[in-house]
Amino acid sequence: MKIILDTNFIIYCTKKKIDYVEELNDLIIENFEIVISEQVLEELKKITEKKKQNLPLYKRKPKFKKTTGRDKEAALLALKIIDKKLKDKEIEKIKILGKNVDDALINLAKQDSKNIICTLDREMRKKLGRVILINSKGRLILTR
């Protein structure tokens, strides 16, 4: 079984200081490996490189509406944490194919019915049904 990490999940966990590896160990009973795709790492790097916009949210272009200074800081910290977890072999880096990051992650999840994506993305949740997300108390939960 593979637990697949999505960008928004990682950033949220970093902002809220949630140790997702420990939480996943508490949540999942079966043997599993946590994987992160190269595309997700690239997304995190892109977020760290975005410049702060001095425009109000309603005037920004759609792809920049949700990126904030906190996201940039969280992405930087997340990259450091992931680098350490990769070295400690807590997370495995993989390469997957797809039109975009979300499609690639969905394809990987559908390769095996036991694979689960950790995401906060509503569109992905609708397509997959079974995902790991974070509830209002900051706990990871597995949806059915």
* Burial class of residue 136 in the structure, from the number of CB atoms within 10 Å of its CB (0-12 exposed, 13-18 middle, 19+ buried): exposed
* Burial class of residue 86 in the structure, from the number of CB atoms within 10 Å of its CB (0-12 exposed, 13-18 middle, 19+ buried): middle
**Where does the pLDDT of residue 54 fall: very low under 50, low under 70, confident under 90, or very high at 90 and above?**
low
Return the pLDDT at 55.
59
Q: What is the mean pLDDT of the chain?
A: 88
Structure token pair of residue 138: 């900051």
For residues 109 and 101, the answer to whether their CB atoms sit within 8 Å is: no
Residue 117 in this model has a pLDDT that exceeds 90: yes
pTM of the predicted protein model: 0.84
Amino acid in position 31: N
